[in-house]
């Protein structure tokens, strides 16, 4: 039990879950933590190298079964996300976009041929996937997407663009969502198809250790079998988002924990006015409040993971988790920065990097406002989206 495990939650995990968590933590300590501050500062990340490392450990699509995937539990996947995001949100994004968005979409909605073509190499990290839903003018309102797919003989022709797409600059395959005459459909699009271009988005102030891009589709001709046959309507991409949001619920716990661990170590060793910062009442009040919010977030993540493993997790419950845990993680990061004082803005400490990253996590895969409306609809039975 660590000082931050106020409720002694560790024994509530199975031995296998603890082992998976600890293995991921060791990998992150070895392969990410020593370098991530430089990656962030320089706006780069060795994503392909990391993907292969993660693939060797079975982290890519780890909660999926078959096709080289580990078939792990939802809680085990969540714990992996927790440890990845404790290092950096961008690194966790690499894993979640690969496994919970691109791989899940193909695994859940693709043909057997599509699964055999893509999933085994994606599970090892040899192939990288991305998920093209968000557009330059359509973020929170995917129903208004402008990307179109039209029939031309036996082929499909895609035209449009996607924006803020994680992994796009290095992706081998993109799951692209487009409007057709029969509604929204999904397509597995090889990124070397003529007419597909990807441009890396630079000058980001957040998620700098993550590759983000814009995808342009200029009359991209695809064979009929590029369509994901089971993906019918907007519910298909939204279900993929639910998968990924579950990982965010856990990841936010990891980043909050890392901020608080950093700050607790600093406050107990930094002396001001003749005593450690941690010896002042105001500092202890801050630390206590943050630790209580952290353990509440841990309880929420674990409960949702158990519901998922029982097959009873609803999308609105995931919204509760993302809304609360990301919001509280960001508040913890900001408060930790105040205890670190001027050192809080230094890259020598991870706190402000985490806070900056969380500004993106707060927005992507459903803004806080969107999740408030999802919860509000559950409470009232009334949709306030339009």
Catalytic residues: 365
CA 65 from centre of chain: 20
Closest by alpha carbon to 102, among 51, 138, 44? 51
91: nearest Cα among 132, 144, 35, 133: 35
Write b or e for each residue in 318-330: b if 16 or more Cβ atoms lie within 10 A of its Cβ, otherwise e.
bbbbbbbbbbbbb
Residue keyed to tokens 């559950």: 378
User: Helix (H, G, I), strand (E, B), or coil: what is residue 177?
Assistant: strand
Q: What are the structure tokens assigned to 328, written together?
A: 């509280």
> Burial level of 180, CB count in 10 A (0-12/13-18/19+)?
middle
Helix (H, G, I), strand (E, B) or coil at 114: helix
State how far the Cα of 358 lies from the Cα of 349, in Å rounded to an integer. 16
Name the β-bridge partners of 173.
129, 190
CA distance 78 to 302: 8
DSSP 149: E
Helical H runs in the chain?
Answer: 15-31, 36-42, 47-56, 74-87, 89-96, 104-109, 112-124, 235-269, 281-309, 315-340, 351-361, 368-380
- DSSP H/E element including 342: none
| Side-chain half-sphere CA neighbours of 54 within 13 A | 32
For the record, the structure tokens of 268 come out as 């107990």
């Amino acid at each position: 039990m660590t000082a931050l495990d106020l409720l002694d939650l560790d024994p509530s995990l199975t031995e296998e879950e603890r082992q998976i968590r600890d293995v991921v933590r060791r990998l992150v300590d070895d392969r990410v933590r020593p370098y991530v501050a430089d990656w962030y500062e320089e706006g780069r990340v060795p994503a392909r190298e990391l993907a292969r490392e993660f693939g060797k450990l079975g982290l890519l699509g780890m909660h999926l079964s078959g096709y080289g995937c580990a078939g792990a539990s939802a809680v085990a996947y969540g714990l992996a996300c927790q440890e990845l995001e404790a290092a950096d949100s961008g690194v966790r994004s690499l894993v979640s976009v690969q496994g919970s968005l691109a791989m899940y979409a193909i695994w859940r909605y693709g043909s057997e041929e599509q699964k055999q073509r893509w999933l085994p190499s994606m599970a090892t990290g040899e192939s990288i996937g991305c998920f093209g839903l968000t557009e330059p003018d359509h973020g929170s309102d995917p129903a208004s997407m402008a990307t179109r797919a039209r029939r031309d003989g036996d082929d499909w022709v895609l035209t449009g663009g996607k924006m803020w797409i994680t992994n796009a600059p290095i992706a081998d395959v993109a799951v692209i969502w487009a409007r057709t005459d029969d509604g929204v459909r999904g397509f597995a699009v090889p990124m070397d198809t003529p007419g597909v271009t990807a441009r890396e988005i630079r000058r980001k102030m957040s998620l700098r250790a993550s590759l983000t891009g814009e995808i342009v589709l200029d009359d991209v001709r695809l064979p009929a079998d590029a369509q994901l046959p089971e993906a019918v309507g907007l519910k298909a991409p939204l279900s993929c988002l639910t998968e990924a949001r579950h990982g965010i619920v856990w990841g936010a716990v990891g980043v909050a924990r890392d901020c608080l661990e950093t700050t607790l170590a600093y406050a107990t060793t930094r002396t001001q006015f003749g005593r450690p910062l941690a010896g002042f009442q105001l500092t202890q009040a801050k630390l206590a409040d943050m630790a209580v919010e952290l353990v509440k977030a841990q309880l929420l993540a674990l409960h949702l993971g158990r519901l998922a493993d029982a097959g009873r997790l609803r999308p609105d419950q995931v919204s509760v988790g993302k809304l609360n845990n990301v919001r509280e993680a960001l508040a913890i990061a900001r408060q930790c920065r105040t205890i670190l004082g001027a050192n809080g803005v230094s890259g020598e400490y991870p706190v402000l990097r985490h806070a900056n990253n969380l500004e993106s996590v707060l927005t992507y895969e459903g803004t806080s406002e969107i999740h408030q409306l999802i919860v509000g609809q559950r409470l009232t039975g009334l949709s306030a989206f339009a």
